[in-house]
Amino acid sequence: MVIYGEDLTQQEPEKQGWIARFLRNKTMSAPGHSERILKPAPESAFLDLDKSWGAIHFAFTDSNGKEDLPAGFILNGAEIGEIDVGYGPARGFGVRDVFEIHQFLSLKTAGEWVDSINPAALLEADVYPFFDEAFGEDEKNYVSEYLAELKSFVADIHAEGDAMIVYLN
């Protein structure tokens, strides 16, 4: 799962993701303004949650499916177009949504969120990537590290007053 975008700067064109291909050499202009070339966002504008996203979503929702916002933001949200970028279209969250997601994430520490996961329920729900693994201390630490990064990342987006894009690939 990637939040906000993907690294567009160091990849060969044939290995770039859909955002990079879309933005490659694109220009934009508004009436009365000069044309400008869109530049890739800095690497700090992206967060990849690796395979932890399923367990993080489960920690927020006790579910393996789409749930209401803000808890369900990893799998739910306003779709951006119809292009499948891995597991369906990307989803966009406006400034107000980001505020609500930030407030929700702030309810607990990363460790508290992970400790709230019922390991038996996680396995029963077939949450990716823990289909047939025990959800022990190593797995909890793995998920907790990414969840801490997610909390910090969303806090930074909120502080900047930015919107957010989420997609799974």
pLDDT score, position 9: 40
pLDDT band at residue 156, thresholds of 50, 70 and 90? very high
pLDDT score, position 2: 58
> Does residue 36 or residue 7 have the better pLDDT?
36
Encode pLDDT of 19-33 as tens digits. Answer: 555 544 444 444 555
Output Rg (C-alpha) for the chain, integer angstroms: 17
Encode pLDDT of 39-88 as tens digits. Answer: 666 777 899 999 999 999 999 999 999 999 999 999 999 999 899 998 89
CB 149 within 8 A of CB 4: no
Cis bond upstream, residue 129 (ω within 30): yes
pTM confidence score: 0.78
CA distance 8 to 152: 22
In the chain, the domains with their CATH numbers are 42-167 (3.40.1760.10)
Q: Which two tokens stand for residue 102?
A: 């930030």
Type of residue numbered 166: V
Lowest-confidence segment of 24-38, 51-65, 95-109, 126-140 by average pLDDT? 24-38
Task: Over range 140-166, report the average pLDDT.
Answer: 95
In sign, the C-alpha dihedral spanning 97, 80, 156, 29 is negative
> Does residue 110 or residue 37 have the better pLDDT?
110
